Structure 1
Amino acid sequence: MKPSLRACLIWTLIPLLLVSCGREEGYEIRGDKVIWNSWQGDGLFGRWSEAELTESRGFEILQPQGYAKNATSVYHGGRRIADADAATFQMLGKRVDLAKDVKRVYLDGHAIAGADPATFVLTEMFDLGKDKKDYYLRHEPLHVRDMASFKVLEANAWRNDHHIWARDSLDYYAGAKATQISDSATFQVVQSWYAKDAKQVYFGSSVLAGADAATFQGVGGESGEFAKDAKHVYWQGQVVDGCDAATFQVLKLRYAKDSKLAYFCYASGSPPLVLPGSDAKTFEVIGPSSQGFGYAKDAKQVYQGANVITGADPASFVVDPNDPENASDKNRRYRYGEPIK
């Protein structure tokens, strides 16, 4: 057996060996003591740690790696929850991470600020709860001003920066932050990053100053980052200088173009990159690559992502449909955008 393969197998078997030895993270009743077992380190290197919590008499494990209690104290993950009321403490619903006592609601062992345990319930959205006076996004109160009109627009969008996921008659929400709506009757989410009403345009939790609401529209992007109005093209809420808004369009495989130039759009958070010397009139995307972007060409040049393939003949350049890293023209073959000698 090769050394590298032997090492791989050894490290793969370590978790199995640990389990077979009866060690796993969580509470353990050992005689008259309660022990919290935890692994200190990463998946390969570290050691088991034992912490003695309390005596075992009257100790109740509510969830093996989560909540537990005795007559006087409540624990989560081996940590005592300060000021929790053990006499009234109980799990909440079918969730292993939610619990409550007479005073508070807890998520992952931490109190949800301001939540009322008597009226707190879960909503259909996994991360959202509510009580008689407010909604709560995980641990954060939203301070909803109009509870009756509050509605979720996109349940998973709150996890993405700037995405608009809920609204009521007065505000919309990006993350846990509320932004006041200027004209509720005409408010609409344009696409994930952007919204507008009859008076103004919004990006994330901010007003997009200077944008024209009447002509504002979304134009796509991998995460909805592009929009435009009559005057400007916007990328993540920033004006893209030099773009012709009237003709700008997002193409597939991270390319875009307007009447003058073509652009490549990195996924790393960089603004659109102008492809120097590109001819927008003849520019077309011709195929994907396995690296998350694609091939394109115009009358003068061939591109892989933002790079020009030096010497490639655009008139005869084609991408192998069975292997997108292979391409050819009338003169030579290419692999990963480089000529094959």
Structure 2
Amino acid sequence: MALRTATARVLKFETVKVMVDADKNMREELGFGFARDARRVYCQDQPLQDREGRSIEGIRVSDFRALSSYLATDGARIYARNFKYFRFTVVLADTHSFRLLSESYAVDAKHVYFQDRLLQGASPDSFRLLDQAWGRDENLLFYCGKRIRNADVQKLNWVGQGKYLTDGARVWYEGREVDGADPSTFVCADDIVYQGAATDRSRPYRYGLADDPGPREQWGRYWSPFFVARPELRDYWWHKLVEQTSSDPDVRELGGGFRVVGKQVYLNDLPLLEPDAATTSLLGDSFITDDTRLYSYAEFHRGVLEGGVLAGIPAQWRRLQHGWYRTDTYCYRKNWHGNAESAKIDADTFEVLSEAYARDRSGVLCELKRMRGVDPQDVECIGSEHLRSKGRLFHFGTEVKARFDPASAESLGHGYVRDSQGRLLKGRQACRSRGFDPATLRILSRYFAKDMAHVYAILEGEFVELPNVEPNGFSVDRPDIGNDGSRLYDYNELLNTRRHERNTIRGPERQSQSRSTEMFGEPIYVVDWAWGSGGQPNLILAGVGFCQVWDLKQRRILADVALPHVSLQDPDECATLSQIPRACAADELLSLLAVTFHNDTTLYLIDLVTGATTSHWRSVSGNDEIERLFIPADVPQVWARIRNRVYRLSLDATAAADVIDYEVTDQRWRDAPLVVSADRQRYAFAKEKAVLVRDFNSGDARLPGTVSGLPQALSRNGARLLALGAKGELREFDVERGKRIALYRGGWCGRDWFRSVSTWLDGRPIFVGIQTSERRWVEVWDALDDRLVCRIGQSACQSSIADGSE
């Protein structure tokens, strides 16, 4: 097995200036918890101290910079933090050649370091990382800076995809040798059994320690699926237990995880109450039967049972092709939970067409659902996903509307079909034929394809040519790995490289109001308010790639811009979140838009006149995403809430930020609102199971009756507040008197809203929300009359807003 390695790299660090007013001293945040003022350097708000707790002297404050959470330098010395304490050691390293390998490992010209520890005998020239904790050179092996003795570094290999490491003679788990383990039969099992699980021929292990298999219910539940999936493993401890258990007269193994213990039927260790234990037998897969009924069960999650009794005569049950089953007048298919569901059929004419389709004289079934308007006598399957009928093409039961000739459609595999004119479909979507020859195109897997002249990686739905690759010699070893005989092509590496090479920010082009017709099918993720020049609130809507500002009174779009596309250097499985906007704010003149994204700590500013986009400010910590934004009308500032802090960011070139509040929300309120009055004298937030209104002049006002409530809006002068209750009711408060003056309930209450806001329009309270189940539009409710005023993004007409009532 190939050894996984972590490539050594020199990390680049960016100093982000944040001006904090603390005891009248101006501090500069340096990142990773470090800060400085004119005299000292701090870590977690404490001056840098040595192991004895004494302040470290001689630090060149002006040149000090943070390298990671554990290492820093002032150009003359290296400062290393101990793993357990916020205490530091001065490391006498060569600062000119000093470079990081990870957050904790570093090298200079002569030595290798782990935090504040010098690794004796390690060679900086040959030292490399196996992961963030393990490191080795040509002779020695280290775990978190600790030398692992008697290791053969030339034979190191990972066991499976877990945290077990072996050299053929020993096995280690997180730096600790696994006592008694047999490396020749040792296998990792945490992908099926549980985290940290492994086994050799003699015993199971958990987190590197010998583990007791436990009673039959325990090892049968955890280990039986693993050994069933690994039939090449023989004569292990599990096989002996199975042999012993099968000889027990009180336990009858049915197979497939089903067994009878006494008078009770079990699936793994979950009791099944319906079947008769005395006559229960296994039919196959998830099906069992007793003398009278048919059943299908599956353990969807551990401890979660799915399934039950199925209609049909058990004696007539039989397996068909492509994962279909049938009895007398019913057919069955397994759902994604693992248990089977049924549909009634005509047994004499029933016929399986493909994995997805079947038919009888009454019609065509697609995954047990009847298709309307399809003649069962005139259908043909195109591959496993498409169906052709009388000049129409269907994909999993839904008609394909793209420009395509169904009569000449042929399957290329993996969901792709091609017509005689070279047009290509993936599912129901047309594929852009940029560069490839549709006539000779072959789909090798979900990730690779080739024609007579080129080889392509299918990246985010687009065929991207792999340069200098000969098609005749190219094949796929597995779906995501290609091979041309000289090198391997990893799909995930190709995808990450493509995203990295894209521009980090693509400035939006100014678009006309016709863009509103393009928004109908796109989800909306952000809804918020911006004060208009006439004193009325304007509604902000944003989704992936777009942002619109609406005048609700006139029912028209005031501004319509394309949001920037953000590409990450190291995208992961959640990289698509970074394209979803998290918060938006616009100024009163509609000349500037501020926007932030998920998985991104940067504040972007968009000029609504020119469309130019700038990266204005970045939070110090990678975990400090900007959750709420507000732009005042009278000063060039942006207010931003990050976790429990409120920042005031200047809009000039310095982008200076000062923290005006450190305690504006409970941790339980993720993405909780922050509402600010137009005069900036008051702001409200959820705190201590209530809504608090903070006044710069008079302190806090705790509003009664707002338990589990969220602030929605402050009036322009901050005298009134709207708060949203736990069931969606709106409560209006007089802030000065601290009393509730109105309660509004209506059709918006008790529903599941993905995001919602409220305010006053012409003095009337209104509620605006995005439903969790339908994010293509927002609903606008008049809370005073309990009336649905309009939906934005619902209609397909140019106005994109329709009157309605419910």
Q: What TM-score, normalized to structure 2?
A: 0.28
Does the aligned pair in 1 maintain the 2:350–2:359 contact within 8 Å? yes
2: CA distance, partners of 1:285 / 1:171: 43
Residue in structure 2 matched with residue 199 of structure 1 by the alignment: 362
Q: How do 1:161-180 residues align onto structure 2 when only pairs under 5 Å count?
A: 165-175=324-334, 176-180=340-344
- Match of residue 208, structure 1, among 371, 379, 386: 371
Are 1:234 and 2:394 counterparts?
yes
The one-letter amino acid paired with 1:227 is L
2: CA distance, partners of 1:19 / 1:173: 49
Residue in structure 1 matched with residue 417 of structure 2 by the alignment: 256
The one-letter amino acid paired with 1:238 is T
- Match of residue 432, structure 2, among 275, 279, 302: 275
Q: Could you tell me how far 1:141 is from its partner in structure 2?
A: 3.1
The one-letter amino acid paired with 1:294 is A
- Match of residue 322, structure 1, among 463, 473, 476: 473
SS at match of 1:111: strand
1: CA distance, partners of 2:419 / 2:443: 21
Q: Could you tell me how far 1:202 is from its partner in structure 2?
A: 0.4
Aligned pair in 2 of structure 1 residues 49, 302: CA closer, same or farther (>3 Å)? closer
Residue in structure 1 matched with residue 292 of structure 2 by the alignment: 133
2: CA distance, partners of 1:263 / 1:142: 43
Give CA deviations for 1:106-142 in whole Å, capped at 9, x if unaligned: 111111241110101223x243322111223235334
2: CA distance, partners of 1:258 / 1:108: 49
Aligned pair in 2 of structure 1 residues 90, 256: CA closer, same or farther (>3 Å)? same
Residue in structure 1 matched with residue 320 of structure 2 by the alignment: 153
Are 1:119 and 2:272 counterparts?
no
Greater mean alpha carbon deviation, residues 232-241 or residues 243-252: 243-252
Q: Could you tell me how far 1:257 is from its partner in structure 2?
A: 1.6
Residue in structure 2 matched with residue 11 of structure 1 by the alignment: 164
The one-letter amino acid paired with 2:296 is L
SS at match of 1:251: strand
Aligned pair in 2 of structure 1 residues 167, 102: CA closer, same or farther (>3 Å)? same
Aligned pair in 2 of structure 1 residues 251, 14: CA closer, same or farther (>3 Å)? same
2: CA distance, partners of 1:145 / 1:271: 35
- Match of residue 451, structure 2, among 277, 282, 296: 296
Q: How do 1:54-69 residues align onto structure 2 when only pairs under 5 Å count?
A: 62=216, 65-66=219-220
Q: How do 1:84-99 residues align onto structure 2 when only pairs under 5 Å count?
A: 90-93=250-253, 95=255, 97-99=257-259
Q: Could you tell me how far 1:105 is from its partner in structure 2?
A: 0.3
For structure 2, which runs of at least 5 residues remain unmatched after alignment? 1-126, 131-135, 144-156, 166-170, 183-192, 199-205, 222-247, 299-306, 335-339, 476-481, 485-493, 495-806
Q: Could you tell me how far 1:166 is from its partner in structure 2?
A: 0.6
Residue in structure 2 matched with residue 75 of structure 1 by the alignment: none
Residue in structure 2 matched with residue 244 of structure 1 by the alignment: 405
Give CA deviations for 1:309-341 in whole Å, capped at 9, x if unaligned: 68x9xxxx99442246799xxxxxxxx8xxxxx
Are 1:284 and 2:444 counterparts?
no
Does the aligned pair in 2 maintain the 1:198–1:213 contact within 8 Å? yes
Greater mean alpha carbon deviation, residues 253-262 or residues 224-233: 253-262
For structure 1, which runs of at least 5 residues remain unmatched after alignment? 23-38, 54-60, 68-87, 158-164, 328-335, 337-341
Q: Could you tell me how far 1:63 is from its partner in structure 2?
A: 7.0
The one-letter amino acid paired with 2:410 is Q
Give CA deviations for 1:149-183 in whole Å, capped at 9, x if unaligned: 221114x83xxxxxxx21122111122211111x3
The one-letter amino acid paired with 1:271 is R
The one-letter amino acid paired with 2:440 is V
Q: Could you tell me how far 1:290 is from its partner in structure 2?
A: 8.0
Aligned pair in 2 of structure 1 residues 294, 115: CA closer, same or farther (>3 Å)? same
Aligned pair in 2 of structure 1 residues 110, 43: CA closer, same or farther (>3 Å)? closer
1: CA distance, partners of 2:463 / 2:256: 54
Q: Could you tell me how far 1:189 is from its partner in structure 2?
A: 0.8
2: CA distance, partners of 1:136 / 1:19: 46
1: CA distance, partners of 2:455 / 2:259: 60
Aligned pair in 2 of structure 1 residues 98, 179: CA closer, same or farther (>3 Å)? closer
Aligned pair in 2 of structure 1 residues 136, 17: CA closer, same or farther (>3 Å)? farther
1: CA distance, partners of 2:414 / 2:255: 40
- Match of residue 218, structure 1, among 362, 381, 385: 381
2: CA distance, partners of 1:185 / 1:40: 47
Residue in structure 2 matched with residue 83 of structure 1 by the alignment: none
Aligned pair in 2 of structure 1 residues 237, 146: CA closer, same or farther (>3 Å)? same
1: CA distance, partners of 2:326 / 2:483: 48
RMSD: 4.5
Greater mean alpha carbon deviation, residues 229-238 or residues 252-261: 252-261
2: CA distance, partners of 1:237 / 1:230: 14
2: CA distance, partners of 1:303 / 1:11: 36
Q: Could you tell me how far 1:284 is from its partner in structure 2?
A: 1.7
SS at match of 2:278: coil
Following superposition, which runs of at least 4 residues in structure 1 exceed 6 angstroms of deviation? 47-51, 288-291
1: CA distance, partners of 2:352 / 2:382: 13
Does the aligned pair in 1 maintain the 2:330–2:343 contact within 8 Å? yes
Q: Could you tell me how far 1:263 is from its partner in structure 2?
A: 1.2
The one-letter amino acid paired with 1:114 is E
Aligned pair in 2 of structure 1 residues 293, 62: CA closer, same or farther (>3 Å)? closer
Instruction: Determine which structure has more spread, i.e. the larger CA radius of gyration.
Output: 2
2: CA distance, partners of 1:138 / 1:263: 40
Aligned pair in 2 of structure 1 residues 239, 167: CA closer, same or farther (>3 Å)? same
The one-letter amino acid paired with 2:431 is V
2: CA distance, partners of 1:198 / 1:290: 36
Number of equivalences: 259
SS at match of 2:348: helix
SS at match of 2:219: coil
SS at match of 1:14: strand
Does the aligned pair in 1 maintain the 2:265–2:272 contact within 8 Å? yes
Q: Could you tell me how far 1:261 is from its partner in structure 2?
A: 4.6
Q: Could you tell me how far 1:304 is from its partner in structure 2?
A: 5.7
Give CA deviations for 1:250-286 in whole Å, capped at 9, x if unaligned: 1257642224452153xxxx6343335899xx83235
Identity %: 17
- Match of residue 189, structure 1, among 337, 352, 355: 352
SS at match of 2:275: coil
SS at match of 2:315: helix
Aligned pair in 2 of structure 1 residues 43, 218: CA closer, same or farther (>3 Å)? same
Does the aligned pair in 1 maintain the 2:177–2:208 contact within 8 Å? no
2: CA distance, partners of 1:197 / 1:240: 23
